[in-house]
Amino acid sequence: MHDLSGYTCGAHHEGLPLSYRTHAPDYWSDEVAAAGGSELTGDLCVIQGEHFFVQGAIDIPLRDAEGSFSWGVWVSLSAANFGRTVELWERPGRESEPAYFGWLSTELPVYGRSTLELKTHVHTQPVGRKPLVEVEPTDHPLAVAQRTGMTMADVRRIAEHLRHPKTPRTDG
């Protein structure tokens, strides 16, 4: 997976990435990292011992190619569901766990509307695989894309937006 940050380079790229991920929930910061009770790993995050997050994947089927496009996102969980996630982290069969409710905690800047705080269901996968995140079926463009799929032209637009964002002109 490609990290959402750091794709402004001004160069031409061969091929299109079919996945992007974020390093941390949008609520993470240097101040939070320095605060007591905060921890961030590649899969789990706790902020000040009060807010709990898991990284998962929002998979979007491709309509004109094989496979899917994937967003690596962070989702907040209740303390109880986070505790259960940690308890089952290395346990075979954990995928039989019911889905957990969560709030999307990653801003995906390509949908024209904020993705923060979208309602989700987090589906635990077999050991070694990140949870699958299902966005509540609404009219939000991300939810629509997850239900109906996307095209390789959509993937290209996302790549261009993330790797070569438009910067405001300054006339001096």
* Six token digits for residue 172: 């001096």
Cα-Cα-Cα-Cα torsion 87, 93, 95, 100, nearest 10 degrees, comes to -30
Q: Please, which residues have CB within 8 angstroms of residue 88's CB and are 6 or more apart in sequence?
A: 94, 97, 124
Q: Are 5 and 106 in contact (CB under 8 A)?
A: no
Tell me, what DSSP letter sits at residue 35? S
Domain ranges in the chain are 18-163
| pTM to 2 decimal places | 0.87
Q: Are 44 and 86 in contact (CB under 8 A)?
A: yes
Q: What share of the chain is helix, strand, coil (3-state, %, to 5)?
A: 20, 30, 50
At 77-136, the pLDDT tens digits run: 999 999 999 999 999 999 999 999 999 999 999 999 999 999 999 999 999 999 999 999
Mean pLDDT taken over the chain: 89
Q: Are 115 and 28 in contact (CB under 8 A)?
A: no
* Six token digits for residue 164: 């070569």
At 33-61, the pLDDT tens digits run: 998 899 999 999 999 999 999 999 999 99
Distance of CA 138 to the CA centre of its chain: 18
**Cα–Cα distance measured from residue 151 to residue 142, given in angstroms and rounded to the nearest whole number:** 14
Instruction: Please give the helix or strand (H or E) that residue 60 lies within, else none.
Output: strand 51-61
* Six token digits for residue 37: 């009770």
**Cα–Cα distance measured from residue 49 to residue 38, given in angstroms and rounded to the nearest whole number:** 6
Tell me, what DSSP letter sits at residue 150? B
Q: Beta-strand (E) ranges in 105-142?
A: 119-123, 132-135
